[in-house]
């Protein structure tokens, strides 16, 4: 099964770090970076457009909450509207530095969110998350 990772975060240094962690963990050789939720939705639709029936795909999304243009919460609302257009497996992990317990609770209540993770992503959290893949 082909696996892609979509990082949705507006912080370029965080994306650089997370790409290295994901690569070092051999989670995926295909890492796509979007700097806001709108770009993330567009990337999911591009993956669908390039999707062939003979290739089984899984997309792992690491989603920040606080971003310009479209934040993580709005991304999840739009995702709900387009989900049925996507013919591949998707796991969404909210990856945030928010210290607000309401953010964690809100993410965990969302049926599209697999898990809430505190930034930064590291080898320990990747090892833990592999059980979800």
What residues form DSSP beta bridges with 117? 95
pTM (2 d.p.): 0.91
pLDDT score at 54: 45
In the chain, where the domains are located: 19-48+57-132
Taking CA atoms, 49 is separated from 7, 37, 59, 131, in Å, by: 19, 18, 14, 28
Regarding predicted confidence, which is higher, 113 or 126?
113
Spatial separation of the C-alpha atoms in residues 72 and 76, rounded to whole Å: 6
pLDDT tens by residue, 81-112: 999 988 888 999 999 988 889 999 999 999 99
Name the superfamily (CATH) of residues 19-48+57-132: Response regulator (3.40.50.2300)
Mean pLDDT, the chain, whole residue set? 89
Average pLDDT over residues 110-131: 88
């Amino acid at each position: 099964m082909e696996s892609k990772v979509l990082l949705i975060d507006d912080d370029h240094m965080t994306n650089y770090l997370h790409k290295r962690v994901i690569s070092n963990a051999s989670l995926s050789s295909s890492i796509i970076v979007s700097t806001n939720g709108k770009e993330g939705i567009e990337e999911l639709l591009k993956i669908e457009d390039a999707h062939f029936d003979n290739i089984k795909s899984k997309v792992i999304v690491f989603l920040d909450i606080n971003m310009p243009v479209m934040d993580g919460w709005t991304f999840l609302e739009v995702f709900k509207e387009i989900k049925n257009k996507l013919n591949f497996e998707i796991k969404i992990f909210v990856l945030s530095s928010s210290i607000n317990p309401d953010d964690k609770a809100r993410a965990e209540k969302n049926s599209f969110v697999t898990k809430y993770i505190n930034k930064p992503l590291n080898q320990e959290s990747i090892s833990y998350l592999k059980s979800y893949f």
